[in-house]
Structures are given as structure tokens and as C-alpha cells.
Amino acid sequence: MSSFNRRDFIRVTGLGAATAATGLPSLVSKANAANPKNVVIIGGGFAGATTAKYLVEWASAEGLSIKVTLIDRNATYASPILSNLVLVGKLPETSLNFTYAALTGVSFVQAEVSDIDTVLKQVTAGGNTYAYDRLIVAPGIDFLDTNGLGAPIIGLREAIDSRTIIPAWKGGTDVTALKQQLTGIPSGTGVFILSIPKAPYRCPPGPYERACVVADWLNQNRPGAKVIVLDANADITAEKHTFSTAFSAMGVTYIPNAHLSSVSYANNQWTVIASTGNYVANVLNVLPRQRAGLLLDKIPGILNASLFADVHALTYESTQIPGVHVIGDAQATPQPKAGHVGNGEGKVCADAILKMIRTNSQDTAQYIANVGESRIPAVVTNSACYSPIKASTAATASYLTVGFRADQSNGWVPTKISASLGEAPSPTGDNWKDMFDWAENLFYDTFNVTRNVG
Amino acid sequence: MSTRTPLFLLAWLLPVLGVQAASLSPSSLTMSPGQVAVVTVTNIKGSLSMTNSSPAVAAAALASPRITVSALKAGSTTVTVRDKGGSKSLRVTVTAPPMTVSPESLNLTAGQSGTVTVSNPNGSVRAASSNSSIATVILSNNLVTVQGKMAGSAAITIRDSKTSRTVAVTVTSNGGGGGVTSTEGRLLAAQCFQCHNAKGGSTGFDRITGESVNEIVSEMKEMQAKAASEPEIMHSQAMIYTDAEITALAQYLASLSGSGSGGGNSNGGKDNDDD
């Protein structure tokens, strides 16, 4: 055995595949370098951008040759996180815009995806075709016209299309447009109605946070104007103690189990007909019921009956379509729909994809069989966020955090770790400062950009 | 004429008379030190004698009709036999043996070490791993210590001045429950980076690189102990992890170069260390 070594032996006899079947990673390094794996990511938000960044970083550390392509219809991502501070004039809109330029090693393509072919394994965008070995789709959320009872909300679609109702739930210019609407609220008699959709929706504490900072803004700028919250849910869905206390202190009217049936504008005001009564407002901020980004309609069968994508929590691979992974708000695990945890899901997905490549596994079941289920460590993620409560003077914020664990014993379903659930005992100025530390670190972790916002 | 004809006259005359010298088979030798070869002498006329020009290179022992040649060290020597037919020489070349390594493949679990012995190196020896994320090497006194880092395959190339040898290393993960792999530590630690970035972002929260494993573990355990009585976001976060997971992420964080900025608290009051 002088020049004929084990690697040659494996290549000649085809034992590489056999070793993969017995659970040992196959010797892929030499073959892999000549055939880099293509990983295509559609959607450059907190989940998609983080996955791209960590795939490049970790593949490089492992000596695995991959090509990472990130496709987004926009060249700039507008962060919804902290956008309620833009809404009430505490931050400039542009301070929350991020490009992908600092994601070294990621090939970024600005284009609208026109087709996803899961048989040929290719994505068509901007007239070009991108072949993939593994596809990650992170399209975020889109809006429905129906209420929590499944009935259509008459007038909603037209109002959103004509931009007279602006959800402003995706950051960016919509937030500035909603801010402009706030200036039209009169003092004394003004009313701002916030309609919260039935869960699941993006950012559980977000709507309540918006109600608080708007109430505070009105108190400062339009004294006497009021906030009414029409919540389709039976109760406050996150930080109940924090928000119910704040609502009381700020005079916010909170109506649970409120399902909208129609919205209409006449005589300079909105009329809302809901299951709990009729309401009028100067500004109507409807957060519509949500579904996975419309992009996923290009993959028939990938969405469940609730219009989100079921995935294996070990790899975030679709349970319906092998080879396609869905992360972030669009996937259907019990984790909240939020940027911080979407970033964490991206890391799990990146790590799993590298392991699938290394073990020559075509899908999650094969990966589990190749490695041995009992040898796979638990998947642990965490959700955390800070919410501004009062943004004007003596600013305060609250926080919310909880961890999730998916392992063999719970069938790989991310399950809340109750002991890790934490809510700020009360909104504080310290939390307000920490909120900016959190957001700045999250921005850097996702986009490799240091942005000083607070 | 006397009956005792001088032998040398006969030696002189024999070729003229058509008498051949003895034959040696094989007629030359190339050997490595330690090897032994047998040379057979045929067509012997009368008694046979033997000489060896460099016995330090190879020893030669005659037990007619066989010569046993034992190679001792690199070099060459000439073994000559003489009989009534004349003399015959055999060149013996002793070459240094090639370097060998043993074993030629290693199976390790992540965190485990194995050794490869290098034999007969010529000149200085170098050892390198094809993928130091999978396995690392340390060479000392012709012993290569290979440490498995994380599941995967790597090739260890060992070179001397003349040749190279490859040892195939397969590293497997430690298995559920008992231990954790280094990529598990990496993934767990990465879930800290949304708030505690190792390389940039805000300096507000405590820096988590540049600390020892023990420091990180004890801080996490301290925060777990306070979670119920002192609500703080990091106390809640610490409650997420098992002891094995804390150790794994601590090992990964401690292995980073700790080049990130931070460590202070820009807001003055907040200190998650609770000292």
C-alpha cells in the first residue's frame, strides 16, 4: 500500500456511498471541491440574509465548497424591527435600510422570481436561471382579506390597494406614509383604530407596542385624541401584563374578540363594522390576517391549510417538497414570527444543509437515517425582543424572551421551554437603552453592518 | 615435474584450458537494512573462499554453496568468491528503506485523539491535515497525534524528503446524551450572536468571547440560579440550556480569538454578570 491509499480504494470500489449508509460521513472533500453545491436563497430578510451569511462562513471553515446565491426583489431591506420608532418620529426611515453588500461571499441578485421548478431544481428570476442543489425560500408574510372567522372584510382590499389603509407591517416607506396619516388626526376628538389580526401573525407584541407609542405620540401632539385596539384574539397575545398595564395608564381602549366585517370611508372618517360593534376613526390601521409570502404559491403543495409551510425543525426542509427549505415568518413551526428568531432559524438551516451535503443526504429522513437519530443533538432556538412603550420623554421599553427545543423525544417539534419564558416586570429606561443594543447587534449579525440607531 | 603444481599456475592456465569460474545467483543485490538474501554459488571447482569489501554495509556468511547476505546500512559492498575456476563478484547495494506510517487509517470520535507512528523517515518529517476543522495534527519525535474535532473526513499527509504517505481520518460525532460535537457548540453559540456579537455591532451587552470555558459556564449557572428570583432577560435565556449544551457553547466561544469589540456597557448601569 504505497501509492494506493484508502481514498483511491473508496473511489474505485464505490464504498463512499456505503459508508454514508452506515452513518459515517462520506469522504466528499476532493469530489466536492470540483463540484460545489449550489444553495439558492429567495428572500433577503432577517432569516434569508442570516442563512446566506452563515452558510458562507461555516462552509469555508469546514472546507466545503458551496455557492450561495441570495435573490430578493429589492436591493435594500427595510427592517420592520424598530419601525414603530420611525412611525412616531424617533428614528429616520433610512436608518433601518440595509443592503447585502457586506455579506462577503454571498452572490446577491436583485430580481423578481418568476418561476420555481422543483423537478429541474432551478429558479428563474430576472430572465436568468439559477440551478440549485438545495433551495431556501424565506418570503416573509403577505396579507389576506378575511377576518379571524374566515369571512371577507368588505372594503379592505380596495382600501389597501388605494393606500388609504396602510398596514405598514413590512417597514420602509409604508411606515412613513402611516406616520403622515397620523398628522391628520385632530386633537380632542381624534381617533386612531388599530385592528389586530387573529394569530399567527408577524411579531406578537408588535401591534400592542404600536398602540402604546401612538397613544404616547397623540398625548404629546394631539392631546385628547384616543387609541382603540380591536383585537381579533381573545386576549393580548404577548406580554399581557406589560400591555394591559400600559393601556390602562395611557387610556387605550382594548376590545378583544373583535372580528372586522367591513371598513368604509365617508365624510372624512372611517367606519368599522365589527363583531363587537361599530367604530369610527380618523386613521384606520388594519393589520390584516397573514399568510406565508405569495411567492410560495409557485410551489404547489408546499403550504398547509393555514397557508404557511410545514417543515422539519431539524433542517427546515419542507415536509411536502424535498430539497426546499422554508424559514422565517413563512414556516409553520410553533416559534413566533419575528426577525430575531428567524435569524436563529437561518443558523439551524445553514448548519443542517452543510451536514446534509456532507452526508450526501437528499432529504431530512435520509439525513436522520444516515447519522442515526439518537446521535443528533437537540435543536435549540430563542426568541427575544424589546418593545418601546413610551417613546417621547422618559422613554421606556419592555422585553419578551423564550427558548424552544426540538429533539428526538418530542418528535423534533420546537417546544417552548417554560422555564425560559421571561417578560420585563415593567417598562424601564434601561430596557429602552438595551433595545438599541439588541437591535444593533441583530442588524450586524444579519447584515454585517454596524448601524448606530440609539 | 613434481606432483604439486602451484595453484596460481593452474589459475593462470585454466581459462586458456577453457575452465570457467563459479557462478553466483542472483548476480547482484539491492536490499534495505535488515533484509537478508541468500546467494547460491554453482559450478564450484575445488574449495570456495569468499571476501567482502565493506562488511559494515552488509555481512556475508559462506556455507558453501550458499552465501547469506545480511544488509546492515545504506551503502554498497562487493562480495567476491574464489575457487579453482577463478573469481566472481557480486555487488550488494543497500538503500535506506522508504518511510512508512502506521496505521494508514484512523477512526476517531470528536474530541478523541489517536497516534500515527512514522518509521524510517528520511530527512525531516512534516505532517498536515487536509481539513483542520475535522482533524488537527501535532508532530513530535516521529509520532503524529491526530485529534478529531468534528464529524467528517480528513486526510493527514505525512512527508519526508523522499516520499509522502496519507492517513485517512474519519471523525464521527459523540452520540446523543453523552457528549456534544464541536459543530453543536458552534450552532448553540451562534444563537447568542443576535445580542452578543463576537465581531461587531453594539458594545452594549456583555462580551462573550475572550473568556475561559469555566468563566462562561459559571456565569451561565449563576444566571440560572437567579432566574426565579431576579427577572432579567439573560437569566431567562440561561434557563434554555442543559449543562452539556452550556459546556459545548462555552468551549466554542472560548476557542474563538475574541477579537470582537465590547465588554463594557455603554449604558453604564447594566451588567449581566451579577457580581
**Residue B108 backbone dihedrals phi, psi, to 5 degrees:** -130, 155
Res. A34 pLDDT band, cuts 50 70 90: low
Res. A443 pLDDT band, cuts 50 70 90: very high
Any CB–CB contact under 8 A between B256 and chain A?
Answer: no
- The reply to whether B167 falls in a domain is yes
Count Cβ atoms below 10 Å from residue B238 Cβ, excluding itself: 23
A50 within 8 A of A445, measured Cβ to Cβ: yes
Both B133 and B211 in a single domain?
Answer: no
Any CB–CB contact under 8 A between B251 and chain A?
Answer: no
Both B160 and B188 in a single domain?
Answer: no
Identify from A98, A340, A441 which residue to disrupt to test chain B contact, counting B C-beta atoms within 10 A and taking the largest count: A441
User: For a pLDDT cut of 90, what percent of chain B falls above it?
Assistant: 55
Any CB–CB contact under 8 A between B178 and chain A?
Answer: no
Report the pLDDT averaged over residues A242-252: 98
Residue of A nearest to B249 (CA): A380
Strand, coil or helix: what is A405?
Answer: strand
- The reply to whether B267 falls in a domain is no
The kind and range of the H/E element at A71 are: strand A66-72
Any CB–CB contact under 8 A between B136 and chain A?
Answer: no
pLDDT at residue A147 in the model: 97
User: For a pLDDT cut of 70, what percent of chain A falls above it?
Assistant: 93
Chain A residues touching B239 at Cβ < 8 A: 403, 417, 419-420
Residue of B nearest to A22 (CA): B172
Both B109 and B145 in a single domain?
Answer: yes
Any CB–CB contact under 8 A between B196 and chain A?
Answer: yes
Residue type, A405: R
pLDDT at residue B5 in the model: 55
Report the pLDDT averaged over residues A53-80: 96
A408-439 pLDDT, tens digit per residue, is 999 999 999 999 999 999 999 999 999 999 99
- Which is more confident, A116 or B255? A116
Grid cell of B15 as nine digits: 581459462
CATH code of the domain in which B210 resides: 1.10.760.10
Distance from CA of B152 to the nearest CA of A (A): 5
pLDDT at residue B18 in the model: 62
Q: CA–CA separation, A278 vs A272, rounded Å?
A: 6
pLDDT in tens, chain B (275 residues): 455 556 556 556 655 566 678 999 999 999 988 899 999 999 999 999 999 999 999 999 999 999 999 999 999 999 999 999 999 999 999 998 889 998 888 877 777 788 899 998 988 999 999 988 888 999 988 999 998 887 788 899 999 998 999 998 888 765 433 223 458 999 999 999 999 976 766 778 988 988 899 999 999 999 999 999 999 999 999 999 999 999 999 999 998 864 444 443 333 334 444 43
A348-399 pLDDT, tens digit per residue, is 999 999 999 988 899 999 999 988 898 899 999 999 999 999 999 999 999 9
| pLDDT of A275 strictly over 80 | yes
Q: CA–CA separation, A122 vs B140, rounded Å?
A: 51
Any CB–CB contact under 8 A between B82 and chain A?
Answer: no
A25:B152 CB<8 A: yes
| pLDDT of A240 strictly over 80 | yes
Identify from B156, B170, B202 which residue to disrupt to test chain A contact, counting A C-beta atoms within 10 A and taking the largest count: B202
In chain A, domain spans: 6-141+292-376, 142-289
Tell which residue, A331, A344, A422, A410, has the closest CA to residue A382.
A344
DSSP of A361-390, one letter per residue?
Answer: -SSHHHHHHHH-GGGSPPEEEEEEEEEEEE
Both B74 and B148 in a single domain?
Answer: no
A375:B175 CB<8 A: yes
- The reply to whether B262 falls in a domain is no
The number of folded domains in chain B is: 3
Distance from CA of A309 to the nearest CA of B (A): 23
Both B90 and B14 in a single domain?
Answer: yes
Both B11 and B90 in a single domain?
Answer: yes
Contacts of B247 (CB under 8 A, 6+ apart): B180, B213, B217
Grid cell of B228 as nine digits: 426565579
Q: CA–CA separation, A139 vs A345, rounded Å?
A: 14
* Superfamily the domain A6-141+292-376 falls into: FAD/NAD(P)-binding domain (3.50.50.60)
What number is the ipTM of this complex?
0.91
- The reply to whether B50 falls in a domain is yes
Mean per-residue pLDDT of chain A: 93
Burial of A99 (0-12, 13-18, 19+ CB in 10 A): middle
Q: CA–CA separation, B84 vs A358, rounded Å?
A: 74
Tell which residue, B141, B146, B150, B142, has the closest CA to residue B167.
B146
pLDDT at residue B34 in the model: 87
- The reply to whether B266 falls in a domain is no
Out of B94, B114, B131, a domain closes at B94
Q: Which of B152, B168, B239 sits opposite A6 (nearest CB)?
A: B168
Both B87 and B109 in a single domain?
Answer: no
Count Cβ atoms below 10 Å from residue A282 Cβ, excluding itself: 19
B31 within 8 A of B69, measured Cβ to Cβ: yes
Any CB–CB contact under 8 A between B78 and chain A?
Answer: no
B113-140 pLDDT, tens digit per residue, is 888 999 989 889 999 999 888 889 999 8
> Spelled out in words, what is the top-level CATH class assigned to the domain A142-289?
alpha beta
A438:B237 CB<8 A: no
Both B81 and B18 in a single domain?
Answer: yes
Q: Give the domain extent around B247.
A: 182-255
Chain B residues touching A355 at Cβ < 8 A: 151, 183
DSSP of chain B, one letter per residue?
Answer: --S---HHHHHHHHHHHTPPPPEEESSEEEE-TT-EEEEEEES--S--EEEES-TTTEEEEEETTEEEEEE-SSEEEEEEEEETTEEEEEEEEE-PPPPEEE-SEEEEETT-EEEEEEES--S--EEEES-TTTEEEEEETTEEEEEE-SSEEEEEEEE-SS-EEEEEEEEE---TTT---HHHHHHHHHTTTTTS-SSSS-S-SPP-SS--HHHHHHHHHHHHHHTTTS--HHHHHHTT--HHHHHHHHHHHHHS----S--S-TTSS--TT--
Distance from CA of A260 to the nearest CA of B (A): 36
B170:A25 CB<8 A: yes
Report the pLDDT averaged over residues A161-188: 98
Report the greatest alpha carbon distance in chain A. 92
Chain A residues touching B98 at Cβ < 8 A: 2
Residue type, A372: G
B86-116 pLDDT, tens digit per residue, is 999 999 999 988 899 988 888 777 777 888 9
Chain A residues touching B110 at Cβ < 8 A: none
Q: Each residue of A336-364: b (16+ CB within 10 Å) or e?
A: bbbbbbbbbbbbbbbbbbbbbbbbbbebb
CA-to-CA dists, residue A59 to A53, A100, A107, A157, B15, angstroms: 10, 19, 15, 44, 79
Q: Which of A347, A382, A436 sits opposite B237 (nearest CB)?
A: A382
Chain B residues touching A25 at Cβ < 8 A: 151-153, 170, 172
Query: Strand (E) positions, A146-274?
Result: 191-196, 226-231, 253-255, 260-266, 269-274
Both B67 and B121 in a single domain?
Answer: no
Both B211 and B163 in a single domain?
Answer: no
A422:B172 CB<8 A: no
B18-31 pLDDT, tens digit per residue, is 667 899 999 999 99
Burial of B275 (0-12, 13-18, 19+ CB in 10 A): exposed
Q: Which of B180, B195, B239 sits opposite A384 (nearest CB)?
A: B195
Provide the 8-state DSSP code for A237. S
Distance from CA of A415 to the nearest CA of B (A): 11
Q: Assess whether the region A6-141+292-376 and the region A142-289 belong to the same CATH fold.
A: yes
